[in-house]
Structure 1
Amino acid sequence: MDEIVIRGVKKEDSDRVAEIEAECFPAAEAASKNSIEKRIATFPESFFVAEKNGKIIGFINGCATNSPVIYDALYHDASHHIPDGESLTVFGLDVLPEYQRQGIAAKLMNYYIETARNDGRKRIILTCKDRLVHYYEYFGYVNSGVSESTHGGAQWFNMTLTL
């Protein structure tokens, strides 16, 4: 099996990251290329890609905030990023379909959790759909119920991992 390498995102990764985002999320929920570029520019320290044979096949990203839950403006406006915020968000954990079910998303999440701990964050927060609650609970996230987020017109659940 070829090794999966997790590394910090680079500006020149934006096209590939946007392609993966568009493949992994419905159009109403996917971040635009412009939004991804702003995220890379604003919080590269919490944006990581997974590579296999030098090809980006997945990524995880999110900003820092003092909020205990994700609110919709965080997705759309990078200025809400608070570099020393106590919460690290997860905006997306994306792995191309042909590479799913191989532990790559878990490797990205574990790397992200370790980064958050090393950065002194108090928690990691995310929202997910009902079908993914169990997946995130595996990492220790706790479901605190339906989110107020209406991102993409979907119903989301607030998940929190206390560090």
Structure 2
Amino acid sequence: MPAVIIRKVKPEDLDRVAEIESICFPAAEAASRNSFQARIAAFPDYFLVAEDKTNAKLIGFINGCVTNSPVIYDELFYDTSHHIPDGQNLTVFGLDVISEYRRQGVAAQLMKHFIQLGKKSNRKNVLLTCKEELVHYYESFGYVNQGRSQSNHGGAIWYDMILAL
């Protein structure tokens, strides 16, 4: 496993974050640079990055807002005004790791830190949507599959997952 530092995003990480997103997600699903700029401004406490300790290269990130909704709905991805700072549920919009660092525990480190962040900030649940082939992966963290999501983000089929904290 590479030596990784998990830290809060900084405004100067914006371009690299947008680049990583464009590598990790199809264009129809990837968030834009402008979207990340808004997210970093609106909820920086819920935006963590992974940095390779040996070269200070940003290699991945996890981010999401806080809501009272029991599921992620598509508008959350596009409009940061839906972020409710004192809401009960923390969401995961994306868990991105560049390919050369995958299957080395980086995503798991990001997810574990994010879950701890949810606990420390007294959230009730962590919510995410994922594609069917990733349901098992998220279940390994304790998430429970709630079935097919109403989200049609990027034209894909998603599944609602919830982790009670």
TM category (shorter chain) comes to: over 0.9
Q: Report the CA distance between 1:3 and its aligned residue.
A: 1.5
Matched residue count? 163
Q: Which amino acid aligns with 2:157?
A: Q
Q: Which blocks of at least 5 consecutive residues in structure 1 are unaligned?
A: none
CA distance in 1: counterparts of 2:65 and 2:11, whole angstroms: 16
- Equivalent residue for 2:49? 49
- Equivalent residue for 2:78? 76
- Asked if residue 127 in structure 1 is aligned to residue 129 in structure 2, the reply is yes
CA distance in 1: counterparts of 2:38 and 2:124, whole angstroms: 25
Q: Report the CA distance between 1:146 and its aligned residue.
A: 0.3
- Equivalent residue for 1:28? 28
Q: Which blocks of at least 5 consecutive residues in structure 2 are unaligned?
A: none
Q: How does 1:55-74 map to 2 (within 5 A)?
A: 55-74=57-76
- Equivalent residue for 1:162? 164
- Asked if residue 8 in structure 1 is aligned to residue 8 in structure 2, the reply is yes
Instruction: Give the TM-score normalised by the residue count of structure 1.
Output: 0.99
Percent sequence identity is 65
- Equivalent residue for 1:103? 105
The alignment yields a C-alpha RMSD, in angstroms, of 0.7
- Write out per-residue CA displacement over residues 40-68 of structure 1, whole angstroms, 9 at most, x where no aligned residue: 00000000000002110000000000001
Instruction: Give the TM-score normalised by the residue count of structure 2.
Output: 0.98
- Check conservation: 2:2, 2:104, Cα contact below 8 A: no
CA distance in 2: counterparts of 1:137 and 1:46, whole angstroms: 21
Q: Which amino acid aligns with 1:157?
A: Y
Q: The residue matched to 1:71 in structure 2 has which SS? A: coil
List 4+ stretches of structure 1 deviating above 2 A. Answer: none
